[in-house]
């Protein structure tokens, strides 16, 4: 299984470097020298890329890939999603930390067992994370905070919700 670890925002300079919006908690692992990612471009084409170097640049990383040697090639990656294999992920050390792919597909229910749909994805916003829950044909965005999501049980395949009135 693959997970999104970044998105190419734009080329940087003329030498093939790209600015990457990071979507991983372990950028030092995912964008380490010789790390391999798969780029899925906007036209749904895919290619493997090997990290040559990465350095911080504001809230982004500037990444150079072995396969991208000039600005024209870098421009072709604009908007590409960077994916990595979940088998390469280090284990989480905090019992309250989860990888996005672990939450996708979990059943969402109230404390009394009433079904509230299925978690489709984790949405990252500047204000925090939201669980996008598919419920009765629509998407409900649930703030991923302990007060509203008091329990995540991966072994049972569910999240327990205590939503404020009117959320669903």
- At residue 27, the 3 state secondary structure works out as helix
Phi, psi of 103 (to 5 degrees): -90, -30
Tokens of 133: 């829950």
- Residue 155 CA, chain-centre distance (Å), reads 21
Q: Which of 158, 165, 164, 168 is nearest to 109 (CA)?
A: 158
Each of the 168 residues of the chain gets a pLDDT tens digit; together they read 788 899 999 999 999 999 999 988 789 989 999 999 999 998 989 999 999 999 999 999 999 999 999 999 999 999 999 998 877 666 777 778 888 888 999 999 999 999 999 999 988 888 889 999 999 999 999 999 999 999 999 999 999 999 999 999
Residue 93, in any domain of the structure: no
What lies within 8 Å, CB to CB, of 28 at 6+ separation is none
Q: Report DSSP state, residue 68.
A: -
Residues 80 and 107 in one domain: no
Q: CB–CB of 71/78 below 8 Å?
A: no
Among the listed residues 71, 76, 34, the one whose alpha carbon sits nearest the alpha carbon of residue 53: 34
Question: Are 84 and 104 contained in the same domain?
Answer: no
Domain count, the chain: 2
* Residue 166 falls inside a structural domain: no
**Residues in the chain, overall count:** 168
End-of-domain residue from the set 88, 110, 133? 88
What pLDDT is recorded for position 127? 85
Q: Are residues 6 and 80 in the same domain?
A: yes
Whether residue 47 sits in one domain with residue 25: yes
Q: According to the model, what pLDDT value does residue 158 have?
A: 97
Distance CA 76, CA 80 (A): 8
Strand, coil or helix: what is 56? Answer: strand
User: What distances in angstroms separate CA 34 from CA 10, 17, 124, one per listed residue?
Assistant: 21, 15, 27
Calculate the CA 20 to chain-centre distance: 13
Q: Do 8 and 79 sit in the same domain of this protein?
A: yes
pLDDT reported for residue 125: 81
Position 52 scores a pLDDT of 97
Q: Mark whether 32 and 84 lie in a shared domain.
A: yes
* Predicted pLDDT at 94: 76
SS (H, E, C) 97-126: CCCHHHHCCCEEEECCCCEEEEEEEEEEEC
Global model pTM greater than 0.85:
no
Domain that holds residue 136: 100-161
Query: In angstroms, rounded to a whole number, what is the distance separating the alpha carbons of residues 128 and 144?
Result: 8
């Amino acid at each position: 299984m693959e997970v999104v670890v970044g998105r190419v925002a734009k080329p940087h300079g003329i030498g093939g470097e790209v600015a990457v919006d990071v979507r991983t908690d372990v950028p030092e692992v995912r964008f380490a020298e010789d790390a391999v990612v798969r780029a899925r471009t906007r036209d749904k084409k895919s290619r493997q890329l090997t990290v040559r170097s990465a350095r911080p640049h504001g809230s982004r990383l500037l990444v150079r890939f072995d396969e991208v040697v000039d600005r024209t090639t870098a421009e072709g990656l604009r908007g590409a999603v960077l994916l990595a294999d979940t088998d390469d992920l280090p284990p989480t050390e905090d019992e309250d930390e989860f990888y996005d792919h672990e939450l996708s597909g979990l059943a969402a229910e109230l404390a009394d067992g009433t079904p509230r749909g299925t978690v489709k994805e984790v949405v990252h916003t500047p204000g925090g994370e939201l669980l996008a829950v598919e419920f009765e044909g629509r998407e409900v965005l649930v703030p991923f905070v302990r007060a509203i999501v008091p329990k995540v049980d991966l072994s049972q395949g569910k999240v327990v919700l205590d939503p404020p009135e009117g959320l669903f």
